[in-house]
A and B are shown apart, each in its own frame.
Chain A
């Protein structure tokens, strides 16, 4: 785009925003944009918000001028990022202003999208639900704000008695959840980011935080710049920017992490260097049952554990993982040193894994067995990829089997408690878990006469048309099925809206109030700062408006046991505020009402939250947040540790107070190594790993609309080893065909690119909607968490001329 056109767009945009900002007459020099951009930073209104992108949860200061975001600054008062951001965060303001924002509800009629009014859109949805409430499913997101997820949860489970609600976080961190539950009996990390300031050793397990969580990673590498010594050990299937900063690089085969964790425990036991005191006082041993294993597993004795772990000698681990036996011994020795502080970091590498629950539990086990737990710097820390995967999915429980506050639909007392909080008649909540993500889309894309029993699917704040694995099986079939109805709330056209029957324009980030919960248990609030464009509206409002229309249509589930609307909000005089009418939605702070209602659910699992107004004042607070004698609210940095956690009994050093064995102990698990579900063979000789890049986030629908980021990474690519490329006569930049048993996609080649895969491995980032690598990935998933494995499957690379011949 030439600069004249850009200038015109800027002027047009400013005019549309309601005012032209005149250059200050005292400024004598013309600069680019001076005619239409404010220049006085002091004149802006600055306010705090968490960044829209990843699970790190940086706070930004958002500079607003004349109703538009014009600047962003790292928030110096924020403990997470201490004034720094990454290149995505610095440009986050631009995500609101992509030229093709959706601004009007669109309905597909005879294959064409036509604009309709909101009233008609809400009507269509409500009637489809009314026709078959049990065939309706709600697919949500780790990018949902807490009130958005809570409202959807209440509509489905409390209103429709329908448990078919699941989030995209199922694809992202479900195995982290099951790992925490299996080990501690309660979800989410015990430590926090302060561990990164105190650790002597940082181990990255299949994790590339230099690109994916850069603010956290440079928090560690900046310590080195200041003269501190931190040893970084990178365990990975390919070299990355994290490897560049690492002292040690251990290259493992896919699934090798399981063997490595077992090998470390083997060495701790063999050399008798495990923390006997910690294990004796605070741990128990556990393994899966041999027949139909469960998440709880069965208790085993320490002797039994020793017997089983004895098989995982460094030499055996070398065979299974490809990491030399000496390096396994090195790791064993390292964990055997009590005076070191060791922090493990992981994210999708361990979660998107058919042994996801197992490897998560095993790494917790390594830390527990060695006693590297619960002191600042000694922590097994699981990171999340989405801004509120923890807050909205794990805490609000927007999963097919869960209820808010760590409750389960299968437990009668949990259902009764929720019915109590929601003032619902007993028995309203359905006892059968709904469909998890893979199953939900399976059922939605299966023809009705073949048993596909989901016919209306509402997608909010995510893009399954790009992120689901094995898209040809789980998504693309929808196009042929005329009786299936896909509703998508979105901000831009996406791979999902391409097949949508009804598209709802959504408000984005600071165009609405919101609350997120980040990777370190930190709950973060922000206020609406600018208006959404056109007729775009809040996702929470959509949910409440649908509920109210259902009430008008006579759906009994939309009433509580006193006959009141389940989302009723009353003013000081006791009059109901019609928040289902958008012009009245901001007459009150609906977020605050929903949050205060939700708070009641959080105490059972000791994830206590403070009142809404406390979060307004803070740059987030880490739960449990408890009120102190002087009335102030105190957050918790280190859970289960007596020196910091208010729920550890007086005088105890550690207390795992949600222990599955009921005796305050954490579980050290034993899982046998199992091979990956699909391994390269003659026909498909290469490993495929998928992931992200620094400049783009998730499916790129926001970051690919930012010129600065798109310039830095304009396309997805396939990263190849030079020798593999030579062997196939493939040149740098050449477009090739990636084929798996499930599908194909064309990608340009980057030989020894930003990451450098070993021979026999290719890597593809998934952000590019024009090059869908999830046509190729597997939908095989972890048996406990149901999270699919995006990190390994077998593919072949073909030159285009060979593929077409």
Chain B
């Protein structure tokens, strides 16, 4: 009889102990989860997840009622009504108006530059892929990066070059899913060419020259205009369609002229009296 209370206490202690173990492991699991997922710059976490969580409470149309075999051909399949409504529930960017007055902000440009350079070994290097991909086809890349897309505070930038097959030939993906936690940092003292801050102007108000190569950046509006360009780098006049009419490219950077100096006719032979 005397060890009865002791057993109860032990039982209670065991329950408390188990409870603590479960809580700790659950927290540990969640911490572990968040640790293992890399967070590249410029990819806000949680935007999509929070929308998804919020709409989980709305269960209308989420459950698809089972139908008998005879009714299958007449039954609508595919995404449920709840799922179909999700994209609409995401915050939408304002409708793009080509003629909105643009006033590029220096702070935006700084932030855009920071994000861009965090994805490149040097200015001109193809950016690495900052988000998860797993054996993705070219079509999948093109779906978002062909024309750019904005959703839930995330932005897929526009391909600045023509359609090229085999995207991962040039753009390095993040580690494959099973190896995300493998340490991959290596020390390298390579110092890359930084992105130019602005083109050169002949005088205040003159159109700036193009300070980077145009190769693989044939589409100016991919970065400098349109709804999916880089904040702070937008053209103030995106309706103008012939960029090089006013902005001079660099023959050196475009690998256009092999000559070291620009060939000129000899100076005029003016007789001196």
Contact = CB atoms under 8 A, between A and B. Distances in A.
Interface of A: 1, 9-10, 12-14, 24, 27-34, 36-42, 44, 46, 61, 63, 65, 68-77, 83-87, 90-91, 93-94, 96-100, 210, 214-215, 217-218, 221-222, 224-225, 241, 244-245, 694-695, 704-715, 717, 732-733, 748-751, 753-754
A749 B178 CA distance: 8
A718 to B, nearest CB: 11
Given A65-B193, A694-B169, 20 more contacts: A30-B110, A31-B117, A31-B197, A32-B194, A36-B191, A40-B196, A72-B122, A73-B255, A86-B169, A90-B125, A90-B126, A97-B190, A99-B188, A710-B185, A710-B186, A712-B173, A714-B184, A717-B178, A748-B179, A750-B179
A227 to B, nearest CB: 11
14 contacts: A10-B189, A32-B117, A41-B211, A42-B250, A42-B253, A61-B255, A65-B193, A71-B122, A72-B122, A97-B190, A215-B169, A706-B121, A707-B188, A709-B172
A715 B182 contact: yes
Interface in B135-187: 135, 137, 163-166, 168-179, 182-187
B215 A74 contact: yes
A225 B163 contact: yes
A93 B250 CA distance: 22
Given A29-B110, A40-B196, A76-B215, A87 B186 contact: no
A86 B174 CA distance: 16
Contacts of B168: 87, 241, 694
B29 to A, nearest CB: 16
Q: Give the secondary structure class of A's interface.
A: mixed
Q: What size tier do the contact residues of chain B reach? A: 35 or more
A93 B122 contact: yes
B20 interface: no
B197 A712 contact: no
B128 interface: yes
A44 B123 CA distance: 12
B212 interface: yes
B215 A83 contact: yes
Given A29-B110, A32-B118, A218-B166, A91 B194 contact: no
A466 B96 CA distance: 56
A713 B178 contact: no
A487 B142 CA distance: 51
Contact of B123 (A71, A97, A245, A708): A71
Nearest to A39: B194
Interface in B187-235: 187-198, 211-213, 215-216
Contacts of B255: 46, 61, 73, 75-77, 83
Contacts of A748: 178-179, 182
A704 B123 CA distance: 21
Contacts, number: 230
A30 B110 CA distance: 7
B110 A711 contact: no
Contacts of A71: 122-125, 192-193
B186 A39 contact: no
A41 B185 CA distance: 28
Contacts of A711: 128, 172, 174-175, 184
Contact of B196 (A39, A222, A749): A39
B89 interface: no
Given A218-B169, A225-B164, A90 B121 contact: yes
B56 interface: no
B165 A222 contact: yes
A717 B255 CA distance: 40
B209 to A, nearest CB: 9
Interface string B96-137: 000000000010011001100110011111101000000101
B189 A99 contact: yes
Given A97-B190, A712-B128, A39 B195 contact: yes
Nearest to A78: B255
Contacts of B197: 24, 27-29, 31, 34, 39
The 5 closest A-B pairs by CB, nearest first: A714-B184, A733-B178, A221-B165, A99-B187, A13-B189
